[in-house]
């Protein structure tokens, strides 16, 4: 089954570049993915994490509500608007960069990403009906990431973050190793990144 719509109603695609730095491989990949999705007739919004101004620290946990900054409010609207989500990010210390993890902490709060239900063991997912794709860049060879390290971050992302909030059909594309890669290899990674849309 195709990730993107193939009928008269285009998909609403949110592409999130989850690298907190400017001018990166992830940024180039996210822009290429957005361009290809537009060329295929989809409606696309592209967001760069580095451009978002917010406190990534959920200071009081769920004990007290932290109001969303304007950039988080806008991103929440885009997440509600989309029916397809693509996240591109580097793997740092086996997980997402701290600012991206902080974005999940701040944005996917009870009442938006999920909702606790009295008497129920598991909360209600509030972002059902959406599909997700993730592109991860890494210095670790993919086979070792999967079989040596056990691919912990992807399991968390699939089961305890995106899946927990209702996203389905989550597929991941791995790009690496990035460290030491020649310019030609990096260019090929950028050009191949939109394959995740298939």
Please say if the pLDDT value at position 1 is more than 80: no
pLDDT digits (tens, 9 = 90+) for 143-157: 998 899 989 999 999
Q: Compute the average pLDDT of residues 78-90.
A: 98
Q: What is the pLDDT of residue 7?
A: 79
pLDDT digits (tens, 9 = 90+) for 111-125: 999 999 999 999 999
Task: Identify the CATH homologous superfamily for domain 12-197.
Answer: Flavodoxin domain (3.40.50.360)
- pTM as predicted: 0.96
| CA 3 vs CA 12, 52, 102, 196: distances in Å | 11, 27, 27, 8
* Residue 14: strand, helix, or coil: strand
Q: Which of 66, 67, 32, 27 is nearest to 49 (CA)?
A: 27
Q: Contact at 8 Å (CB) between 42 and 5?
A: yes
């Amino acid at each position: 089954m195709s990730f993107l719509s193939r009928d008269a109603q285009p998909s609403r695609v949110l592409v999130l570049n989850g690298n907190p730095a400017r001018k990166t491989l992830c940024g180039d990949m996210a822009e290429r993915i957005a361009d290809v999705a537009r060329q295929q007739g989809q409606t696309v919004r592209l967001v760069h994490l580095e451009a978002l101004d917010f406190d990534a620290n959920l200071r009081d946990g769920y004990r007290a509500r932290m109001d969303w900054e304007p950039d988080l409010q806008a991103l929440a609207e885009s997440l509600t608007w989309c029916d397809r989500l693509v996240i591109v990010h580097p793997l740092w210390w086996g997980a997402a960069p701290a600012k991206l993890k902080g974005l999940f902490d701040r944005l996917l709060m009870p009442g938006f990403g999920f909702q606790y239900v009295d008497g129920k063991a598991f909360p209600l997912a509030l972002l059902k009906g959406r599909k997700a794709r993730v592109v991860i860049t890494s210095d670790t060879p993919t086979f070792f990431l999967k079989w040596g390290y056990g691919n912990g971050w992807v399991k968390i992302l699939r089961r305890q973050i995106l899946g927990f909030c209702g996203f389905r059909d989550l597929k991941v594309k791995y790009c690496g190793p990035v460290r030491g890669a020649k310019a030609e290899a990096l260019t090929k990674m950028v050009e191949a990144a939109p394959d995740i849309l298939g």
